[in-house]
């Protein structure tokens, strides 16, 4: 009998392929003091999905292939990213890009 793993729920997260390494990782509304801003964190995989779908104009299947995941997962990532971006733009919040990948793979 194998020992039971603690705090494990569901499958482990897969390492997704991320080809874009942003040089600028923080965006804020102009003329607003940083200390008074609420920050929205956008993960590197969310940014990559938005880049592939909106800038490269790939369909979801192609985005999924490029990121080594399923089209359904890409859809969830895009929905989450688009909601965060819209919230930041409409409500005047800052966006901080979190680099949550191994930079050696870039």
Q: Where are the domains of the chain?
A: 43-99
Q: Residue 14 has what pLDDT?
A: 64
User: What digits encode the pLDDT tens for the residues 73-105?
Assistant: 999 999 999 999 999 999 999 999 998 755 444
> Maximum Cα–Cα distance for the chain, whole Å?
61
User: What digits encode the pLDDT tens for the residues 40-64?
Assistant: 999 999 999 999 999 999 999 999 9
* Distance set, CA 63 to CA 16, 25, 96, 106 (Å): 11, 22, 23, 17
pLDDT band at 21 (very low <50, low <70, confident <90, very high): confident
Q: Which one has a higher pLDDT value, 20 or 94? A: 94
**N-to-C CA span, the chain:** 40
| CATH value of 43-99 in 3.90.550, 3.40.50, 3.30.70, 1.10.10 | 1.10.10
* 41, containing H or E segment: strand 39-43
């Amino acid at each position: 009998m194998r020992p039971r793993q603690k705090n494990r729920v569901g499958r482990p997260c897969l390492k997704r392929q991320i080809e874009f390494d942003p040089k600028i990782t923080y965006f804020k509304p102009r003329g607003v003091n940083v200390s008074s801003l609420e920050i929205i964190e956008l993960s590197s995989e969310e940014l990559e999905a938005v880049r592939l779908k909106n800038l490269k104009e790939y369909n979801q299947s192609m985005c999924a292939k490029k990121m080594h995941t399923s089209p359904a997962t890409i859809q969830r990532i895009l929905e989450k990213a688009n909601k965060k971006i819209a919230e930041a733009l409409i409500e005047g919040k800052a966006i901080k890009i979190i680099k949550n990948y191994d930079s050696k793979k870039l």
